[in-house]
């Protein structure tokens, strides 16, 4: 008696559902590759408290972390807590942060943030996204940095490096940081969100650079849309 081979059943799920599953699988593979490549990645801003990291992250906008780390020791010596910063005059704050760029806007944000901490939180940095984003000068990117590194609350920090790498890999098609964050939250394991951010930032700085990505040495080339469409032709 012969037995008929069962025909494989076609995947009846909507195409969008199968694409979503593919992105999740790719995101997990990319996360594992980055974890092996950058096992010791951490926040590159120097800080010893949530207040210090909050200040440093606000200063890091349009500025290198290296420059911020040069400025913050003297800044924190003069303004060791939110109370001292809230009581300071803007011109003095500006002098301490002038070299970070956009120093007038940053000084206003820092003073406003400190005043809000004193008025509503007893001078302490709150530990929730909802409370942090209500502070002057604090958006989701800054809040995720503080939450992930000070409160053990995983979050994806979408800076220019994370945006560029995620777009090139094909993990997102969006340009807006909040949309990119949402896409990455869906395809990266929750427990790894903060670590993924640190590792992707390092990868963007040293390998997947803006002007000329180093595709020939990239550990992610096998998962990368950009490499498939650009890198192979350049190799």
Contact, 144 vs 155, CB < 8 A? yes
* End-to-end CA separation in angstroms for the chain: 56
pLDDT per position as a tens digit, 159-216: 999 999 999 999 999 999 999 999 999 999 999 999 999 999 999 999 999 999 999 9
Q: According to CATH, what is the number of the domain 155-234? A: 1.10.1670.10
Catalytic residue among 141, 175, 183, 225: 141
Give residue limits of the domains in the chain: 50-150, 155-234
- Among 65, 81, 108, 159, the active-site one is 159
- The region of weakest confidence among 9-18, 83-92, 183-192 is 9-18
Can you give the pTM of this predicted structure?
0.88
> How does residue 21 score in pLDDT terms, banded at 50, 70 and 90?
confident
**Main-chain phi, psi angles of 6, to 5 degrees:** -75, 135
For the structural domain made of 50-150, what CATH number should be given? 1.10.340.30
The tokens for 189 are 């394991």
Annotation marks residue 141 as catalytic: yes
Question: What is the DSSP track for 97-125?
Answer: HGGGSSHHHHHHHHHHHHHHHHHHHTTPP
């Amino acid at each position: 008696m012969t037995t008929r081979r069962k025909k494989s059943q076609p995947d009846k799920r909507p195409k969008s559902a199968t694409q979503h599953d593919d992105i999740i699988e790719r995101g997990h593979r990319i996360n594992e590759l980055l974890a092996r490549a950058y096992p010791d990645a951490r926040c590159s801003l120097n800080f010893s408290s949530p207040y210090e990291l909050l200040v440093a992250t606000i200063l890091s906008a349009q500025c290198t972390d290296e420059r911020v780390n040069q400025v913050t020791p003297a800044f924190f010596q003069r303004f060791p807590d939110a109370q001292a910063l809230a009581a300071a005059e803007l011109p003095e704050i500006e002098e301490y942060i002038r070299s970070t760029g956009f120093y007038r806007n940053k000084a206003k944000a820092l003073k406003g943030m400190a005043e809000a901490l004193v008025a509503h939180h007893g001078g302490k940095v709150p530990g929730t996204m909802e409370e942090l984003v209500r502070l002057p000068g604090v958006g989701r990117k800054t809040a995720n940095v503080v939450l992930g590194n000070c409160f053990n609350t995983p979050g994806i920090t979408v800076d220019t490096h994370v945006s560029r790498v995620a777009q090139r890999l094909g993990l997102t098609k969006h340009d807006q940081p909040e949309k990119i964050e949402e896409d990455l939250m869906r395809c990266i394991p929750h427990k790894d969100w903060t670590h993924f951010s640190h590792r992707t930032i390092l990868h963007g700085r040293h390998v997947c650079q803006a002007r000329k990505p180093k595709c020939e040495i990239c550990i992610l080339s096998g998962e990368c849309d950009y490499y498939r469409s650009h890198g192979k032709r350049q190799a």
